Every structure is written in C-alpha cells, then in structure tokens.
C-alpha cells in the first residue's frame, strides 16, 4: 500500500507546544497531538508497522542500531563507512521537524493574552 510522506509539524496549541504529522495530500493532520518529538517518533513507528501487511521479521519496532552511542562507537571502531548508518528502513532514520509554526503561534498567543 502506498502512503503519502507525512510531514512533522511543531506547533503551539492551547498554550502548549505540540508535534503532529501532517498529510500533504489530504491537507489534514494525520496523527494525534504529541507532547514531545520522541512521542511523535513513536507514533510514526507504530503507524508504519501497522500499515505493513506482510510477515514482520523484527521482534521489536525499535531498530537496535537506533541508539546513537552504539552507532557512533561502531563508526569510530571501523575504517569504513556503512551504507546505511541509521538502518535500512525509513523508520530507522531519526525524525526531524519539517515545519515549525510554533514561534508565530506563540506570538499570537502572547498578543491574545495581553502581551508581556
């Protein structure tokens, strides 16, 4: 099944910073509001593992190479560069914020609350 590439958005909503995945095809929020970037990453992993129809060979959705310390130690211990240092699947690559609208929303919130 082909899925759109979601975009991770950092926003300021109801007085708190939130992260959510946005579907650029439907122009709608694709995930729940997450309170941390790590929580958004967990949603991303779970979503993709739930979409897979085949037999899953991994015992855990978390890639064992995802620990940055292990990866850094491994790269320093070898004289070669691995082709996929973050893992083979796109869910193994650390997530990053694609769009940050939180600063603008925070300014609007401060003005709405009467300023500083």
Quick check: 92 pLDDT over 70? no
Quick check: 104 pLDDT over 80? yes
pLDDT in the model for residue 79: 54
- Please compute, for residue 54, the number of CA atoms within 13 A of its CA located in the half-sphere on the CB side: 4
pLDDT in the model for residue 46: 87
Quick check: 107 pLDDT over 50? yes
Largest CA distance in the chain: 59
pLDDT in the model for residue 1: 40
pTM of the model: 0.68
Q: Which residues contact 32 (CB under 8 A, 6 or more apart)?
A: 20, 43
Strand stretches in the chain, DSSP E: 7-13, 16-23, 28-29, 99-100
Quick check: 4 pLDDT over 70? no
Q: pLDDT digit string (tens) for 50-91? A: 877 777 665 555 555 455 556 666 666 655 555 555 555 556
Question: Which token pair is 61?
Answer: 């959705």
Q: Cα–Cα distance between 36 and 114 in angstroms, integer?
A: 27
pLDDT in the model for residue 102: 96
Bridge-based pairing state of the strands 7-13 and 28-29: unpaired
Average pLDDT in the chain = 78
């Amino acid at each position: 099944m082909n899925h759109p590439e979601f975009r991770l958005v950092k926003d300021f909503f109801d007085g708190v910073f939130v992260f959510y995945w946005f579907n650029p095809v439907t122009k709608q929020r694709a995930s729940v509001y997450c309170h941390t970037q790590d929580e958004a990453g967990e949603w991303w992993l779970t979503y993709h593992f739930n979409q897979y129809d085949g037999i899953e060979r991994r015992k855990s959705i978390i890639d064992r190479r995802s620990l940055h310390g292990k990866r850094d130690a491994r790269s320093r211990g070898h004289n070669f560069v691995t082709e996929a240092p973050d893992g083979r699947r796109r869910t193994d690559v650390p997530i990053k914020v694609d769009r940050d609208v939180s600063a603008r929303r925070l300014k609007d919130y401060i003005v709405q609350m009467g300023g500083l």
